[in-house]
Every structure is written in structure tokens, then in C-alpha cells.
Structure 1
């Protein structure tokens, strides 16, 4: 009887044309398959589909052995039927602070592979001769740039994560005292600000993985708020036309991004399956110096492993050094179980904003939160 080859399946969301991280992930899976005679099969999908599929596992009992996800998706532990990570698995290579990003109520449900995941301001120095670190610059330059067919600044403002820097600039934060905190005066101010700037032609909202990058690379947008994960793609396409600086100050207050990690979780109780040892072996391989260096050198991501990160910092180009330094200005992403409902509500309001007005957008946020958060609490 022919022996059946062992296989472990990994879901991930490195799906946009600009997200070159897929190259390294697929390379690592191939390398592991060749060396250990265990087939690791990566399956790519967009973040919306990944979220939905993980949250259906409780009902379907259909899931992968692993998924590589942003750290806040550790909070889907109940719907995703996540396995708890064995104690001390990688304490020797990851700091307590890094591990903390994928804990829920003190329990480790994921292993960080990359860190950062924060937003920065990319700008074209041929359009802005010095770093546009305050919003005033975009408004002052709007008329001149508009005459050349250039929008001063762009972001993906139908995604809640991109909205956070605007909310923080008005003193808001989506969590307070362990509860959602998004129906606030600060939220309304941030929504009003975005709508005003879009109406004035100072700010444009485009899809963060396609149109936003394409128009920035083509010189049709002067600066974009986008994630550190896209740096490799922009660096390849823009070279000397790319510079990086802090997020802009808005009305005297510094915008702040969230930061988190990206790591492996174990859905559908996969660590109780017969593939347990292969899954844990692959996890350790992902945190090896060899693989962490691949993420660093091949696609310019920020490794979770401390030693690899230090070497990266020592040799990094000026733009990359700036990206690393901006981690100090970011705030850790909340990982409460209710955050899925916060993100859904924010996204619903942001989709509504260009169609109506800030009041209606805030109402949409409130309605969405009441429905999903109410169901969650009950």
C-alpha cells in the first residue's frame, strides 16, 4: 500500500500585487517541504475572506492547520476554535513584549513571526522637497499640485486601520476601560475632517493594495499613508522618488498608528491533531534565523526574532531606518474579543461617509456596533 504524504495547510492574506511578502512565505513553505518531507500548502485569500472563514470554523469545523494573520485576529479564538500554544515554545527567541501581542487574557494563542504592521507617511521628494510632517503642508500645496493633476495625499479610507491616525489626532482611541469607544465627539471630528479634505481635493481615498499604490508610483499623488509592509514594493518601483516620514500632525496634534505583529495561529484545534509535531516543527522553522533573515533581506519586512532585527537595524537604508524608528510612535493594537465588531462598525461608517455626511456615517457606526456588539454580549 502506497504511503500517504503528510500535508499541513496554511491560510494567509498576502494577496495584493504590492504585497511581496507572499514570495517569502511560499519560499519558506517550499523549503520546509523539501527538507522535512512534509508538504506545507499555503492558501491565499483577501483579509475579508480570511476573517469570515476563520469565524465560521466553530460551525463548519473546517479549517487549516495554521493561519498567518495580523495579531488582533488572535481574538477570534472562540469562533476559530484556536489551540493554545504550548508554554515556552519560543521563549528563547521572542521577547515577552512580542509574545504579548498574540495573547488573550494571558493565554498564548499565536506565535509572532513579523512585527511592525504600522502605518507611515510615504512621500515623493520630487513633489514635496521636504518632509510634509504637518497637514498644513498638504493644504498649502493643494492649489499648485491640483494644477498639475496631483492630489496632495491619499489613504485607504474605507478601512478602519487607515482611519486610526485621524482618530488619534483628535484625541480618540477605539477602546476605553475594556469596552468599545467609537461613538464619541472625537470620532465625529475625525470623520468631519476626512470628509472636508476629500471635498476640497486635498485627500483622496483609494484601495490600499491597488489604486493607491499605482497612483502614488505614477506621481499622481504626492504622499500616501500606508503600511510598512508595502515598503519593498514601493522601493523597487520608485527608488530615489521615495522618502518616508512620520504621520502628519493635524491641528497641532500628532497622528498615531497602531502597531502589532503578524504570526501563526492554530485553528480548528489543530494542535490536538496527529499533525501536531509537524505544525510545531514548522513554527520553529519560521522563527529560525535563516527564515527570519529571508523576510528581512528578500522583502524588507520587520522580523520578530530579536537578533535578526538588530542586524537589520545596523545595515538598513535610511528609509528603512526611518520606518523602524517610527515604531516608537505607534500604539499597540488592542486585542479584545470585541475588536472584530469595532472594525466592522468602523468600516461600515467609512463606506457611508463619502455617500452622505459625517452625521450619517457616525450613525452607521453606532447601528453596526449595536447589532454585532449586542449579539456578542448576549
Structure 2
């Protein structure tokens, strides 16, 4: 019988908080293993469905096969909870760092400090539940140089360009406007913040200003008519759209499609406020299987962390997937920018706002998803939406903590 908290949390996580379908379906929780002694790795690396060469490197180094199963991020959040309940957890997972806010519910094992470089160990009271593999996971503005000579630095400037582009039959800009992750940088632009050790407070002036301004630019960009339910990258890659806001995770795909005609820039400023992408790490974490010995668990953690921390592995991940390693040798070739494009890209990465993980963020996404969309569809007003976002986040977080305190969650 599943615990009540899993039903609540799975319902929340099953909501499509990104505003788009997951790229992978998680139809099964436990993959069929090719060999009994394989290491099973569940990965939420978005859009990257082949780690074959990494698997070969790992097998050559450690003499063991990796069975890698790919999930959409939201699928994996719920599936991990049910896997913990059913005692069928994988050996390791690669997930965005916001998963760590619920580390005890996913049964993530604390990682020995000795596995971290000295500079990253922090003070003696710190506990680590995920080892960073890549950094970034942030939004930026991509543009087609064949359609735009100078990228717009503000939304006013972009909409001036839109008039000229429209005369040529070109849509100015698209992005996944329904997805709360794309809304959040605008909340930060007006002074909002989700970095807190206390309950999130989201009904504030920053939220009101962000909702109002976001609705205005979505309407002015004519996204609801042009995109319908989903703005994907197809039209941008085919030259029908001049700009798109998208993640660094699509950098390699866009570069392969557009080559030297691809440009990158900061998301345009809104009403004089800079809009900066929010960045985080992808981490490798280790769910604790009760039947596994402590010695085996430590050896597994050590080998996988050692593997993903190697310069060769990091270089492969960067060149194959366009994701920048979270920990890197200063003398690595990756620190030598080979083009103006890469220099611009890393400038934007360095200018992004790094956000940390805590449990309240997990519940915030659902509240944002429902209410931002309701504002865009004129179903509720801005003041009501700001109130709902705050109240729904607090309500879900409160129910979660209440059930935890009653010991009705997994230990």
C-alpha cells in the first residue's frame, strides 16, 4: 500500500510544470538488466538519449556495465518516490539539483566528503546528497543571424524589430511561455527570490509586476495565436522565427542546425530590469537500497564519482551535449574559448543566477504552472494569481511536512 504523502507528491510532480510533454516515457520502473551485476543508472539529462560512448569508457575503466534508463524530469520525480516505496531503487540517478530538496524521501545516501575536492567540502557540518556533474541548466536568448543583425537588448527594441520581421513573414520570437521555469527569470528581474531557508513568500510586489509584464509580452509577441499550446524549436531552426528563449541544453542541437548563423544573447531587459537566466547543477545521487552492504555502496559511489569527475568524461559531456562541467581542472582545454560564440555563451553562464535546492521549490512549480497559465488565458486577475501561487505552495508544503511528522513517509 502506497503512503499518502507519495500520492500527494506524485500528483504534484505528475503535473506538466514545464508546459510541454516529457521527452521520454517512464513506462517501467525497473529496466531489464543485461547482466546481473550491472549498475543501474536513471538519468534525467533532458534530450540526451545516448550515453553509449560513456558506458564504454566506464566498462573499460571499471570492468562493469552501466544500464542507463532515460526519464523526463517530471516522470522521474514521481517514479523515484514510488520506487523507494516498492524497494526497487536504481544504483544511482542523474538529476537536477532541486531534487536534493527531497533527499530524504528519495532515500539519497549522504556522500562522504572525501569524494569531493578540498575546495568544495565546506564546513564540517555540511551534508552532501548529490555530486555535481554539470552546471548551467539556464535560459538564454538564441537568434538567427540571417534574420537579425543586432540582437535586441530590451523587449521594446525586440518589438520594434518585430514590425520589420512581420513584413517579411517572420515571427519575431517564441518560447515555452506556458512553462513556469521560463516565467521565473522575470520574477527575479523585479526583485523576487526563491532562495530561503524558511517558507517561500510569493505574494509580493515582485510577483505582481512579473505577472503583469509577462502577460503583456506574451500578448505582444502573439504567442498564443502563433504557438497554440506549445512553442517548440522547429520553427526557429527552420528560419520562420528570428528569436527563441531556450535552455543551454539545446545549445548543441541549435549549433548543429544553424552553424555560424546561430547567435546567443541575454534575455531582453524588461522595463529597465535585467532578465538573467537561473542556473543549477545536474548531480549524481545514490538512492539507499536496504539490501546493499555499506562496503558495496561506498565502492559504487566512489567509482561513479571518480568517473564523472575525470577530465576525459567532462570533455565528452561538453562536446557531445553542450553541458559545462561543474568541477573542472583549470588547465583543461575546456577553459580555452575557441570562438567568439563560446565566449558569449560562457559570459551568459557566468552572469546567470545560481539557485539552490530546498523542499518548498518542489511545490512552487505546480502553483506557478496553474496560475501563470490562468492569467495568460484571462481566467483570473493578477492579484488573485499572486495570492493563489503563495497559498497553494504553502498548503502543499504544509501537508508534506505534516505527513512527515506523523511518520507516514518512508524512512
Aligned to 1:55: 81
In structure 2, C-alpha distance between the alignment counterparts of 1:263 and 1:316, rounded to whole Å: 27
Instruction: Give the conservation status (yes or no) of the 8 Å contact 1:114–1:261.
Output: yes
Instruction: Give the conservation status (yes or no) of the 8 Å contact 1:8–1:39.
Output: yes
In structure 1, C-alpha distance between the alignment counterparts of 2:331 and 2:259, rounded to whole Å: 23
In structure 2, C-alpha distance between the alignment counterparts of 1:57 and 1:308, rounded to whole Å: 39
The yes-or-no answer on 1:336 pairing with 2:358 is yes
TM, length-normalised to structure 1: 0.86
Segments of 5+ residues of structure 2 without an aligned counterpart are 1-34, 403-411
Match of 1:140 among 160, 169, 172: 160
Deviates most, 357-366 or 139-148: 357-366
3-state SS of the aligned residue for 1:320?
Answer: helix
Quote how far apart the aligned CAs of 1:367 are: 4.5
Quote how far apart the aligned CAs of 1:309 are: 7.8
Quote how far apart the aligned CAs of 1:147 are: 3.5
Instruction: Give the conservation status (yes or no) of the 8 Å contact 2:141–2:245.
Output: yes
Aligned to 2:66: 40
Query: Number of residue pairs matched?
Result: 362
In structure 2, C-alpha distance between the alignment counterparts of 1:176 and 1:223, rounded to whole Å: 34
Quote how far apart the aligned CAs of 1:180 are: 0.8
1:7-53, Cα deviation, whole Å (9 max, x unpaired): 111111234xxx3x443x34212331344332211111111101112
Aligned to 2:393: 369
In structure 1, C-alpha distance between the alignment counterparts of 2:304 and 2:186, rounded to whole Å: 39
3-state SS of the aligned residue for 1:152?
Answer: strand
3-state SS of the aligned residue for 1:123?
Answer: strand
Instruction: Give the conservation status (yes or no) of the 8 Å contact 2:41–2:67.
Output: yes
Match of 1:297 among 308, 319, 329: 319
Quote how far apart the aligned CAs of 1:57 are: 4.3
In structure 2, C-alpha distance between the alignment counterparts of 1:206 and 1:316, rounded to whole Å: 36
Structure 1 residues 248 and 372, CA gap change in structure 2 (3 angstroms): same
TM, length-normalised to structure 2: 0.80
3-state SS of the aligned residue for 1:212?
Answer: coil
Aligned to 2:99: 73
Instruction: Give the conservation status (yes or no) of the 8 Å contact 1:191–1:358.
Output: no
Match of 1:195 among 212, 215, 223: 215
3-state SS of the aligned residue for 1:261?
Answer: strand
Structure 1 residues 207 and 113, CA gap change in structure 2 (3 angstroms): farther
Structure 1 residues 163 and 78, CA gap change in structure 2 (3 angstroms): same
Segments of 5+ residues of structure 1 without an aligned counterpart are none
Quote how far apart the aligned CAs of 1:176 are: 4.7
Quote how far apart the aligned CAs of 1:282 are: 2.2
Match of 1:323 among 336, 345, 349: 345
